Amino acid sequence: MKGTLGATWGLSPRVTHWFYTAVVQPMVLYGSLVWWTCTTKQWCRAKLNHIQRLACFAITGAFKTTPTAARETALQLPPLHIIAEGEAGRASMRLRCAGQWQRSSDRRGHGRIWAHLRNQDEVFQMCSDNMQVRYVFDHKYKVEVPSRDEWASNKTALLHSKELIWFTDGDGSILSQLYRVIIIIP
């Protein structure tokens, strides 16, 4: 990224901001569920702040003496250690809802994120409405697509049938329909 900008040339601030938030941040935060605990250490925060400071400088072009917190506020970028903790929390919630989280890991290492989040906000104690994907390949229905001629000749009989009727174009009114799909469920 350094070779793509200069004081008077290069990528626009908008593109630089996009590049940082869409490419650099996800690369830095990858696997934050595993390493989030080190964000409490000063050396880790210093490295994360350094990355964010360079990005803020590249986006704004402000003087080097401008405080990082002021640049972050102007760009609406939260500190990276807070984002890392949030990403770790989201990953743990996703794993817990999928039944992939081991309860024995709640008290040690990177698994402490769940206890940490549960104590911060009662939202994390709620159930999730995520659903597991399930593929069903044996269809118990039949799809019919009447031709224009069938539709024109049997319009009333087709409309008053007890099947589900899905219109594929128009606004759903009888006059605007050229095609329809009938789904028959036995």
Q: Which helix (H) or strand (E) holds 167?
A: strand 164-167
Specify the 3-state DSSP secondary structure of 35.
helix
Report the distance separating Cα 66 and Cα 74, nearest Å: 11
Helices (H) and strands (E) in the chain, counts: 9, 3
Spell out the per-residue pLDDT of the chain, length 186, in tens: 556 665 566 778 888 888 888 998 999 999 888 888 888 899 998 999 888 888 888 888 777 777 878 888 888 889 998 899 888 888 888 887 777 777 666 566 677 777 777 777 777 777 677 677 788 888 777 777 777 787 778 766 666 666 666 655 555 555 444 455 555 554
Report the distance separating Cα 21 and Cα 133, nearest Å: 30
What are the phi and psi torsion angles at 79 (to 5°)?
-60, 145
Which pLDDT belongs to residue 6?
Answer: 58
